[in-house]
Amino acid sequence: MSGVALPRIVLGHNAFFGVDHLSSQRGAERAAYFSDVENVMTVIASAVDAGAGGLMLSTHPRAAAICEALSIDARLVSKLELFPLLPYAQKYVTRANELGLVRVVTQTLAEASTRDKVGLGLDFLRTMYRRDPLDMVRALMRLELRMFRKLNVSTVFLHDAFSDLLIALNVPKVFSLYKSTLRKRFGTTAGIATKNLPLLVQRFQEWGMELPVVLTHVNKAGFHMNPSRKECERALTQPNLKVMAMGTLASGFLAPSEAYPYVNAFSAVKSIVVGASSSAHIRATFGSITASKT
């Protein structure tokens, strides 16, 4: 397992991009508010002041502007570790409706700027002409991660929509490629998001592969914990498992004072992703995390 140290509190990105697993309407309203990067930066600065050491950021079309704004703020660059989550699944899912799977990849690459294409070099040419899936994955990863190049990144997470599919289809090869590309090209560690923690642990053991840093749902309500809360709790006792917990409030269903004593009880949970949309919200939530940590 990687020796990477994770910050205890990581600010989540969902509010910025209108992702709200409890209310689509509230999600849409927040997306409109945070379309102004200034509003995003205000929340990020408050989170850093309140003790956040990390920011989770999916490669949403708007993420590039956030990265750009962050990169010119020396204080935030030094205090904040970025955790890219890729790819922004919805973008590919929507485009696949129109283009089909192979063309989504080739067209996304074809639309990249000339500078990006040159930056991708051989990976770009191999993907367009050989259409080898491993080349495609490598080229897409490089394209998606370009926006983070001026920022402090040590772990990159693969979105659960993709990792859970690969786990179900039992294809370790793609995970190996993901891991080696991150290490060789970016000097970063591979993280994997999942909604099926026990199955992920089982598969990595079967494959004889080192457990990655795992981003997964941990909450007292058992929301998104499959195949059951109990089995996820058992998996969380696995030695060598390093977890970044998400969905800790079960999308706002649990109060922070109720949620965090539960999450903090697991020693595998090294880090907690917290969604926040205002400074007041940040103070209340972060306070509960530190108060309940023994």
Partner 1 sequence: MTELRGAVVGFGKLGLLHAGLANGLPNSRLAAVVENSGVIQRIVQQYFPDVNVFSTVEELIEARVSDYVIVATPTGSHVSIAERLVEASIPVFIEKPLSLNAQEAQPLVAALNRNWVPNMVGYMGRYIDTFRRAAQLLRVNILGQVQMIRSSMYVEQLLKPGEGWRYDPATSGGGVLITQNSHVIDKLLWMFGDITGVSGNTSQLVSRFVEDHVHAHLEFASGAVGFIDASWSARHFRTPAISIHAQGTNGTLDVNDDEVRLFLDNSIGETSSGWTTWRKPDLYRPVPLDIGGTQYTFQMIDFLEAVTNHSDLDSNVVSGLKTQLVIDAVYESARRDGARVNVANFLP
- The contact set with partner 1 (CB under 8 A) reads 17-19, 21-24, 27-28, 31-32, 90, 93-94, 96-102, 131, 133, 161, 164-165, 167-171, 173-174, 195-196, 199, 221-229, 250-251, 253
Residue number with CB closer to partner 1 (4 or 177): 177
For the bound state, the minimum distance from the C-beta of residue 96 to partner 1, rounded and expressed in Å, comes to 4
DSSP class of 8 = S
Nearest residue to 9 (alpha-carbon basis) of 290, 275, 282, 272:
272
Nearest residue to 272 (alpha-carbon basis) of 67, 58, 56:
56
Residue number with CB closer to partner 1 (71 or 90): 90
Q: Please write down the long-range contacts of 204-208, taking CB distance under 8 Å and 24 or more positions apart.
A: 207/172, 207/175
Tokens 């991708």 identify what position? 120
Q: How far apart are the first and last CA of the chain?
A: 25
Residue number with CB closer to partner 1 (213 or 221): 221
CB-based burial label for 156 (10 Å; 0-12, 13-18, 19+): buried
CA dihedral 34, 40, 46, 51 (to 10 degrees): 110
For the bound state, the minimum distance from the C-beta of residue 147 to partner 1, rounded and expressed in Å, comes to 20
For the bound state, the minimum distance from the C-beta of residue 194 to partner 1, rounded and expressed in Å, comes to 9
| Element housing 231 (H / E) | helix 229-235
Residue number with CB closer to partner 1 (173 or 234): 173
Q: Token pair for residue 73?
A: 């703020």
Report the distance separating Cα 167 and Cα 203, nearest Å. Answer: 7
Residue number with CB closer to partner 1 (8 or 138): 138
For the bound state, the minimum distance from the C-beta of residue 235 to partner 1, rounded and expressed in Å, comes to 13
For the bound state, the minimum distance from the C-beta of residue 31 to partner 1, rounded and expressed in Å, comes to 7
For the bound state, the minimum distance from the C-beta of residue 191 to partner 1, rounded and expressed in Å, comes to 19
Residue 213 near residue 240, CB atoms below 8 Å: no
Residue number with CB closer to partner 1 (189 or 285): 285
